[in-house]
Structure 1
Amino acid sequence: MARTRRSRQHTSHQPTSHQPGAAARRARPLLALATAVALALGAGLAALPAQAVDPSGQRLWVDPHSSTFEAAAALEGRAKQEAVLLGGHATATWLTGDKGKDTRAEAERVTRAAQADGSVPTLVVYDLPFRDCAQYSAGGAKDTAEYESFVDEVAAGIGDRDAIVILEPDGLGIIPWWTPYDGTVAWEQTPGWCQPAELDSATAADDRFTQLSYAVDRLTGLDGTSVYLDGTHSSWLGAGDAADRLVRAGVEKADGFFLNASNYEATENLTAYAGWVSDCIALSTQGPDWFVPAYCASQYSGLDGFDAADVSTWGAVDDKYTADFASLGLTRDREHQAHAVLDTSRNGQGPWTGAPAGGYTPGDGDASNDDPEVWCNPPGRGVGETPSTTTPDAVVDAYLWIKVPGESDGQCYRGTDGPQDPERGTVDPPAGGWFPEMAHELVTGAQPALARPTCAVGYTVHGAWPQGFTTQLWVQNTGTSTLRGWDLQWWFEGGQRIQNYWSSDVVQVGNHITASNLSWNATLRPGERTTFGFVGASTSGPGADALYTLLGGKPCSVLG
């Protein structure tokens, strides 16, 4: 991730707003704790979890206590295996300011655990007043002062440790009482939408930028953070509109912007759009005062040869930026312009286009019921690029799983009275709840395909008493190559301590356990398995079953 802040001049001009495609997202709740197992064969502790790294040497953190692993503990069969498979990849932790949640403690837990692992976590900061304009993900701080206190708690929890911060999904895409500089009505208010009576229409939009600017200043002031603001996505705001909002919110002091949070736009389209937004920010902050973001080319500019449905034609927009840089005597340098990170958690198959043209209530004469909510648990999607800080494009810092794949977007009615989702014929789980059917679609529709496990682990508590417990584990080679030496790693969640063990060498550091092979059980041919065990001490029981594993950074399946 970029560590050097990019310094640019600031303008306050606003562009004309463009009509986007349908784009609303759902947030997930604060991550809960669960117990996980990690298996790194022949590599030792430093090999877990293995992810691609960028030149600065950063590796993305896999949370062994994620809500995905917690969901897997309550599942069986294929659904359990798929949850384990998804949970073995780095996903974001959402800090939502929910009452009863200790924001500082959760930020500290995540960043300390990642630091100990030598990797970097992704934190989503999501508590703006009137977030999601009081829709499905309604909530947030009551006012600016409470929001700033929330941000202070996040900053205190992170401290000087490394973190990627995704700052307020929808925060710039949906702004209460927002009006572009030319006085026209922004798409968000058509007609009268996102104009909450509780807010002052004269100051609400400015308050949003004040809140985000405070968060940028506070979080970029930490030693180890990379901070990204909401840039929407390639079927939402025009590049100029997005750039204007980003500049007003302080993107010049941040590391850049994020795209596609909890959405489905294709990576190729997002990459092109990221370049346009980056170029527009550069032109409107480095160019003459008269060049405002409204002059930036976008997917809505109507350029000759451009077809929004055919990404192969999108070079027409790039050509316009090339000409603009030249005419202003500026040099395009995307390596040093604002960068982007992309949410690839569910975009492997791109956006859903299979909704009925007339909606799910045809013939009722009410056009307001025709919205198919293509963003809400669309069928037949797949995960996209797995999380990585190595990408092929200079303007894209990372592929991240910001939305946790497998968690529901909410109970989707698609213009009907519900409670069933008319597309799926079932009642969808509430927002943030685990959705096994959708998780299955995301796994089977993954593009590129997810690597299947080549190992399996079983973990069984045979007995427990007030001061301890006894456990047996199995390790099985489910791949096609012989394993010559293995290390099994897992994490306790309640302060359990291993007292005695057999058939392996065991090392415990804090809550982290490494069990290594002995000479006689080091080799596992395809299909073979071995077993070992231990006696643990605990005053709170053995904790949750340790069901979730990683092999060389990739998830294993579960035996039994």
Structure 2
Amino acid sequence: MSRYMRNRRPLAVVAATAATAMVAAGVWIANGTASAGVLSGTLYRDPDSAVVKWVAANGGDSRVGVIRDRIASQPSFRWVANYNPSTIQAETSAYINAANSAGQVPQLSVYMIPNRDCGGASAGGAPDYGSYLSWVQNFSRGLGSQMVIIVLETDSIALQTCLSSSELSTRNNALSQATQTIKAANRNAKVYLDGGHSAWNSASEQANRLRNAGIQYADGFYTNVSNFQPTSSEVSFGSGIINALNGMGISGKRQIIDTSRNGGAAGDWCADDNTDRRIGQYPTLNTGNANIDGYLWVKPPGEADGCAFQAGSFQPSLAYSLASGVQNPSSQAPVTTRGPVTSAVVTTRGPVTSAPVTTRAPVTTGNQGGGACTASYTTINSWGGGYQGEITVKAGSSSINGWTVTINGQTITQLWNGQLSGSGPYTVKNLSWNGSLPAGGTAAFGYLGNGSPGSPTLTCTSP
């Protein structure tokens, strides 16, 4: 069975300095203007990445020009892989704020699932699932409100050989809850689940696993992370997954493909010992394919997999090998503008298949308790016989410490990020972590319902 290359790379607080923010003259930063997928904007190039810092510190190295021009000039994902519950919110917020201030789209790879990599080269993660979900809550609080691309838990769905049936069920539930927590914290967060790659599980098997892990709550799935399968193979594989999901009644899901090192594919799977690999297509959201939201560098080129070097460590020899064999690299990189991300706070929820397009505009607002809080409803998605809804609670002119929303006119079957009671009308109370809101602050909870979403009647009160 073909395997992923594992990666463990900590999230560090962004320290943007002139020394590290180098872009070679004449090298274009990847474009984010979408021509087919639903994402758009300029991708954020992390000035604190390992490759950028190496370039800044090694100006006399004969390899620096190639690595600078062909790798360090491009945006790639930052990996969040150290279990740091007390600091993760601040660290995430610093990175997100830096990207937002630049008017660009941040990219994060969350790698914290318990028993990750089945104890392999990138073993680690949270100590247990309760700790994991608590960590996800802290992480989510740092995501802000603008668009962020999140790749959630590489290998967590495609690699299951070390899990018993009960452990697998627990992991699937945790992935589903993590996705919902992130989406509730930032409705503009784009979350993608593990799709393996085209030489691993079949498309139908991977689709079934994705369904079990809560793909219905995510924006889609990613494939080829740290691997070398050709882009054409991944496109075909992703199409098969999407078709299988559609057959299960799960529509509107899209794909991200990691092209960080699939420009040449020969030899052993472990890149640490392989010099035949090459960087693939430069990162872009301009895919020309309605099923694909991005060709992105999820695995930062030059970071090791745990074979000859420590997993996640930057190795200039690997970076140089990946970049030096590329022909006419400047012609590969798409021409871009450096303007603001025009769609950072605009979310398109409409699917790319035949499922009905839904609206993000609130359809009902309730207000009670002297303006203490208001509640507004949004249909996130809908299908024959059901829908996904979201309610946003907003504090009035003063801060509140707790809220209660009553919902009438809908049939709720499942709810997250709130305490549900009743059978219609329903009562939803805040959880311990989302009840205290500053003046004008917001919190959100989501749910699934039967039938048509209609126009629910809402009231919001605060003690």
Q: TM-score range by the shorter chain?
A: 0.5 to 0.7
Contact 1:383–1:442 (Cα < 8 Å) also in 2: yes
CA distance in 2, matches of 1:39, 1:25: 28
Contact 1:160–1:224 (Cα < 8 Å) also in 2: yes
The reply on whether 1:210 has 2:194 as its aligned counterpart is: no
Q: Shift in Å at residue 37 of structure 1?
A: 3.2
CA distance in 2, matches of 1:88, 1:391: 20
Q: Which letter maps to 1:124?
A: S
TM-score (norm 1): 0.54
The reply on whether 1:346 has 2:244 as its aligned counterpart is: no
Structure 1 spans left out of the alignment, 5+ residues: 1-19, 176-187, 189-193, 196-200, 287-335, 356-372, 413-427, 454-486, 488-560
* Cα 1:253/1:50, change in 2 over 3 Å: same
DSSP 3-state at the match of 1:262: coil
**Following superposition of structure 1 onto structure 2, how do residues 160-175 of structure 1 map, counting pairs within 5 Å?**
160-175=145-160
Q: Shift in Å at residue 88 of structure 1?
A: 1.4
CA distance in 2, matches of 1:53, 1:271: 20
Aligned with 1:121 (options 106, 113, 136):
106
CA distance in 2, matches of 1:67, 1:118: 22
Q: Which letter maps to 2:67?
A: A
* Cα 1:161/1:377, change in 2 over 3 Å: farther
Contact 1:382–1:447 (Cα < 8 Å) also in 2: no
Structure 2 spans left out of the alignment, 5+ residues: 339-463
DSSP 3-state at the match of 1:431: coil
Contact 1:127–1:139 (Cα < 8 Å) also in 2: yes
Contact 1:32–1:70 (Cα < 8 Å) also in 2: no
Q: Which letter maps to 1:398?
A: G
Q: Deviations over 1:167-192 (max 9, x none)?
A: 000010122xxxxxxxxxxxx3xxxx
The residue aligned with 1:501 is none
Aligned with 1:53 (options 33, 40, 44):
33
**Following superposition of structure 1 onto structure 2, how do residues 428-443 of structure 1 map, counting pairs within 5 Å?**
428-443=308-323
The residue aligned with 1:408 is 304
CA distance in 2, matches of 1:22, 1:67: 25
The reply on whether 1:392 has 2:307 as its aligned counterpart is: no
**Following superposition of structure 1 onto structure 2, how do residues 263-282 of structure 1 map, counting pairs within 5 Å?**
263-282=227-246
The reply on whether 1:79 has 2:63 as its aligned counterpart is: yes
**Following superposition of structure 1 onto structure 2, how do residues 450-465 of structure 1 map, counting pairs within 5 Å?**
450=330
CA distance in 2, matches of 1:89, 1:347: 16
The residue aligned with 2:52 is 69
TM-score (norm 2): 0.65
Q: Shift in Å at residue 204 of structure 1?
A: 0.6
Contact 1:384–1:448 (Cα < 8 Å) also in 2: no
* Cα 1:72/1:386, change in 2 over 3 Å: same
Q: Which letter maps to 2:298?
A: I
Q: Deviations over 1:329-388 (max 9, x none)?
A: xxxxxxx631100111111113x23x5xxxxxxxxxxxxxxxxx5455422211111110
Contact 1:27–1:262 (Cα < 8 Å) also in 2: no
Contact 1:33–1:70 (Cα < 8 Å) also in 2: no
CA distance in 2, matches of 1:133, 1:446: 34
CA RMSD of aligned residues (A): 2.8
DSSP 3-state at the match of 2:46: coil
Q: Deviations over 1:520-551 (max 9, x none)?
A: xxxxxxxxxxxxxxxxxxxxxxxxxxxxxxxx
* Cα 1:348/1:342, change in 2 over 3 Å: same
**Following superposition of structure 1 onto structure 2, how do residues 193-272 of structure 1 map, counting pairs within 5 Å?**
194=162, 201-221=164-184, 222-272=186-236
**Following superposition of structure 1 onto structure 2, how do residues 274-293 of structure 1 map, counting pairs within 5 Å?**
274-285=238-249
Q: Shift in Å at residue 101 of structure 1?
A: 8.1
* Cα 1:81/1:101, change in 2 over 3 Å: farther
CA distance in 2, matches of 1:443, 1:375: 13
Q: Deviations over 1:423-464 (max 9, x none)?
A: xxxxx33222222222112112336734599xxxxxxxxxxx
Contact 1:348–1:447 (Cα < 8 Å) also in 2: no
The residue aligned with 1:528 is none
CA distance in 2, matches of 1:441, 1:101: 38
Contact 2:155–2:196 (Cα < 8 Å) also in 1: yes
Q: Which letter maps to 2:198?
A: S
DSSP 3-state at the match of 2:176: helix
More moved, 54-63 vs 116-125: 54-63
DSSP 3-state at the match of 2:21: strand
* Cα 1:150/1:48, change in 2 over 3 Å: farther
Q: Which letter maps to 2:34?
A: D
Q: Shift in Å at residue 105 of structure 1?
A: 1.9
* Cα 1:39/1:383, change in 2 over 3 Å: closer
Q: Shift in Å at residue 252 of structure 1?
A: 1.4
More moved, 277-286 vs 382-391: 277-286
CA distance in 1, matches of 2:40, 2:176: 29
CA distance in 2, matches of 1:133, 1:349: 28
% same residue:
31
The residue aligned with 2:21 is 37
Contact 1:28–1:403 (Cα < 8 Å) also in 2: no
The reply on whether 1:445 has 2:325 as its aligned counterpart is: yes
Q: Deviations over 1:246-275 (max 9, x none)?
A: 111111121100001111111111011010
DSSP 3-state at the match of 2:286: coil
The reply on whether 1:381 has 2:366 as its aligned counterpart is: no
* Cα 1:235/1:39, change in 2 over 3 Å: closer
Contact 1:25–1:263 (Cα < 8 Å) also in 2: no
Q: Which letter maps to 2:11?
A: L
